[in-house]
């Protein structure tokens, strides 16, 4: 689609913006080093879907989905979870730099020992009765989210001999359009497990991989309390290709 | 200004810790007049059930409206969530209770037949896959739908929910086959 065509789409007198998907950012579904793709990744090419009203709108899930306690994963149980307490904050933006306010952010993660509070996780590391690993919040009017949690542990998995996942927190985001939906994982700076992780490395562009890594931030860090990390999340912008034709043709 | 997008990663095997909601599959209360139920299985390339998937749906209200500021027609049905979310069970089954969506003006003219947009997330999918659910009874509208027209005729039936065989009215079946041989049509959105 040329930039001119994508600038606005519509029907008759109706016009609406589209949220074009830039090439080369997301991992290819067929990534055989990640073995679970072998029987699950579709084999046939996806068919291009021009963005209609169903694609440029989306669920605006709001305050009814969250309570203030949902953003603090450390105070939900009788005692405090074990592990390194951390504050995680950042902005949800679109690729044009506009904040995405009032959007639902959901996270889930392993405990400090690298064990998920999930019946299917059989890693022989201890469960923590004071940690369930799920959190949610809404971004504020400037697109900012914030969680208090503990740093998740690394854990082994059976993808290949001696495979270990780098420490990570899972994120789910909606934005304001069906086409902005994003599910991803956030990693920590300098993790020595990156080089052997086929999920992290499934992203073809090494620069794009770096965008999944949070940064330690001493301004977020609270003295005598918790380390602070910043991580901004960028969802698709409206008319992205129209605004940056160079990206489209690179 | 253009910022680099945050790349996608798989939802992994443990999304049920954080993502399913008790009322997720019920876009509307099942007692609502006109409520329909869409069920089906998510299957892998060996035709085995995918027990750790999450199926999400997004759709217009029955009159074809969206209660959303970016719908240039305005309107919308207040209180209609439009969004469904169902984890699959051990047999790979999901369930969505909703109202029938309406027809919509299509980009570039024409009319889109009533449909739901569907996101499937699962371990082994590094990015979500997207499909659509149309309805078998909407024969004329489906024949005029510009999106179905771009799908090879032999594969269109993978996008059509069918009345549950022998089932009561308002119950539909829509299986999602992630991989050959009867692979569901997925869309590049």
Q: Which residues of B touch A179 (CB under 8 A)?
A: 189
Mean pLDDT of B54-81: 95
Band of pLDDT at residue A3, cut at 50, 70 and 90: very low
Give the torsion through C-alpha atoms of A195, A196, A199, A204, to 10 deg. 40
What average pLDDT is seen over chain A? Answer: 92
| Sign of the torsion formed by the C-alpha atoms of B5, B6, B9 and B12 | negative
The gap from C-alpha A222 to its chain's centroid, in whole angstroms, comes to: 24
Report the percentage of chain B scoring pLDDT > 70.
99
Q: Is the pLDDT of residue B72 over 50?
A: yes
Q: Is the pLDDT of residue B57 over 90?
A: yes
Give the tens place of pLDDT for each residue, B99-151.
999 999 999 899 999 999 999 999 999 999 999 999 999 999 999 999 999 99
For residue A199, give the chain B residue with the closest CA.
B9
- Give the one of B2, B4, B18 whose C-beta lies nearest to A170's C-beta: B18
pLDDT for position A241: 43
| Residue A49 burial (10 A CB sphere; 0-12, 13-18, 19+) | buried
Q: Which residues of A touch B187 (CB under 8 A)?
A: 46-49
Mean pLDDT of B170-188: 96
The residue that leads in pLDDT, A7 or A220, is A220
pLDDT for position A30: 97
Bridge partners of B39, per DSSP, are B95, B173
| B113 upstream amide cis, omega within 30 of 0 | no
Mean pLDDT of A30-52: 97
Question: CB pairs below 8 Å between A and B: how many?
Answer: 267
Band of pLDDT at residue A6, cut at 50, 70 and 90: very low
pLDDT for position B166: 81
Q: Which of A88, A107, A90, A68 is nearest to A148 (CA)?
A: A88
Q: Is the pLDDT of residue B39 over 90?
A: yes
Mutation choice for B interface testing from A114, A183, A211, A244 by most B CBs within 10 A = A183
| Sign of the torsion formed by the C-alpha atoms of A118, A66, B54 and A48 | negative
Q: Tokens in use for A47? A: 């068919």
- Give the one of B8, B48, B119 whose C-beta lies nearest to A26's C-beta: B8
Q: Is the pLDDT of residue A249 over 90?
A: no
What average pLDDT is seen over chain B? Answer: 96
Mutation choice for B interface testing from A1, A14, A40, A60 by most B CBs within 10 A = A40
- Determine, for residues A58 and B58 on separate chains, whether the beta-carbon distance falls below 8 Å: yes
Q: Is the pLDDT of residue A23 over 80?
A: yes
What does the alpha-carbon distance between residue A170 and residue A149 come to, in Å, rounded to a whole number? 13
What does the alpha-carbon distance between residue A169 and residue A110 come to, in Å, rounded to a whole number? 8
What does the alpha-carbon distance between residue B83 and residue A60 come to, in Å, rounded to a whole number? 9
For residue A16, give the chain B residue with the closest CA.
B72
Q: Looking at CA atoms only, how far is residue A171 from chain B in angstroms?
A: 8
What DSSP line would sit under B106-150, residue for residue? PTTSSEEPS-EEEEEE-TT-SS-EEEEEEETT-HHHHHT-TTGGG
Q: Which helix (H) or strand (E) holds A147?
A: strand A144-150
What DSSP line would sit under A214-248, residue for residue? -EE-TTTSBTTTBEEEE--EEEPPTTHHHH-HHHH
pLDDT for position B64: 97
pLDDT for position A116: 98
Q: Is the pLDDT of residue A244 over 90?
A: no
Give the predicted TM-score (pTM) of the model: 0.94
| Distances in whole angstroms, Cα of residue B171 to Cα of each of A125, B39, B96, B156, B158 | 44, 8, 10, 20, 17
Band of pLDDT at residue A5, cut at 50, 70 and 90: very low
Q: Which residues contact A228 (CB under 8 A, 6 or more apart)?
A: A86, A87, A88, A89, A216, A217, A218, A219, A220, A221, A222
The residue that leads in pLDDT, B1 or B61, is B61
Bridge partners of A176, per DSSP, are none
Q: Is the pLDDT of residue B1 over 70?
A: no
Bridge partners of B83, per DSSP, are B58
Give the tens place of pLDDT for each residue, A108-117.
999 999 999 9
pLDDT for position B167: 73
Q: Is the pLDDT of residue B10 over 60?
A: yes
Give the tens place of pLDDT for each residue, A190-233.
999 999 999 999 999 999 999 999 999 999 999 999 999 999 99
The gap from C-alpha A62 to its chain's centroid, in whole angstroms, comes to: 19
pLDDT for position B180: 85
Q: Which of B41, B61, B110 is nearest to A14 (CA)?
A: B110
For residue B28, give the DSSP letter: S
pLDDT for position B73: 94
Longest dimension (CA), chain B: 56
pLDDT for position B162: 96
Q: How many CB atoms lie within 10 A of CB A246?
A: 8
What does the alpha-carbon distance between residue B15 and residue B45 come to, in Å, rounded to a whole number? 21
Mean pLDDT of B1-7: 91
Give yes or no for a contact between B130 and A49, defined as CB atoms under 8 angstroms apart: yes
Bridge partners of A156, per DSSP, are A164
Mean pLDDT of B161-184: 92
What does the alpha-carbon distance between residue A111 and residue A134 come to, in Å, rounded to a whole number? 10
What does the alpha-carbon distance between residue B60 and residue B55 come to, in Å, rounded to a whole number? 17
Band of pLDDT at residue A242, cut at 50, 70 and 90: very low
Q: Provide the chain B residues 92-131 that lie in CB contact (below 8 A) with chain A.
A: 104-110, 112, 115, 117, 119, 121-130
């Amino acid at each position: 689609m040329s930039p001119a065509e994508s600038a606005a789409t519509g029907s008759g007198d109706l016009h609406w913006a589209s949220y074009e998907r830039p090439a080369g950012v997301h991992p290819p579904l067929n990534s055989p080093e990640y073995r679970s793709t072998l029987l699950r990744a579709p084999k046939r090419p996806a068919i291009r879907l021009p963005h209609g009203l169903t694609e440029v709108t989306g669920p605006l899930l709001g305050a009814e989905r969250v309570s203030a306690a949902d953003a603090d994963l450390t105070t939900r149980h009788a005692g405090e979870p074990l592990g390194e307490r951390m504050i995680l904050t950042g902005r949800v933006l679109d690729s044009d730099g506009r904040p995405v306010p009032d959007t639902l952010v959901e996270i889930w993660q392993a405990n400090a020992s690298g064990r998920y509070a999930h019946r299917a996780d059989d890693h022989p590391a201890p469960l923590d009765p004071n940690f369930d690993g799920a959190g949610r919040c809404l971004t504020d009017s400037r697109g900012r989210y914030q969680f208090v949690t503990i740093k998740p542990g690394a854990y082994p998995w059976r993808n290949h001999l001696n495979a270990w996942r780098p420490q990570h927190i899972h994120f789910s985001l909606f934005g304001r359009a069906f086409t902005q939906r994003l599910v991803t994982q956030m990693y920590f700076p300098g993790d020595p497990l990156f080089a052997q992780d086929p999920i992290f490395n499934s992203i073809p562009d090494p620069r794009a991989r770096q965008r999944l890594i949070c940064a330690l931030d001493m301004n977020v860090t609270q003295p005598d309390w918790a380390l602070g990390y910043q991580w901004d999340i960028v969802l698709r912008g409206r008319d992205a290709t129209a605004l940056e034709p160079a990206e489209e043709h690179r | 200004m253009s910022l680099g997008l945050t790349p996608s990663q798989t939802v992994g095997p443990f999304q049920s810790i954080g993502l399913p909601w008790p009322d997720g599959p019920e876009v509307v209360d099942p007692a609502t007049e006109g409520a329909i139920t869409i069920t089906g299985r998510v299957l892998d390339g060996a035709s085995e059930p995918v027990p750790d998937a999450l199926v999400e749906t997004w759709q217009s209200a029955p009159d074809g409206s969206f209660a959303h500021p970016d719908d240039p027609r305005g309107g919308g049905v207040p209180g209609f969530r439009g969004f469904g979310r169902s984890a699959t069970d051990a047999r790979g089954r999901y369930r969505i209770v909703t109202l029938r969506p309406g027809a919509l003006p299509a980009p570039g003219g024409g009319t889109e037949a009533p449909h739901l947009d569907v996101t499937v997330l699962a371990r082994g999918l590094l990015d979500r896959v997207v499909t659509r659910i149309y309805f078998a009874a909407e024969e004329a509208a489906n024949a005029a739908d510009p999106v179905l027209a771009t799908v090879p005729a032999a594969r269109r039936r993978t996008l059509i929910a069918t009345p549950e065989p022998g089932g009561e009215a308002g119950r539909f079946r829509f299986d999602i086959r992630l991989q050959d041989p009867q692979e569901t049509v997925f869309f590049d959105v």
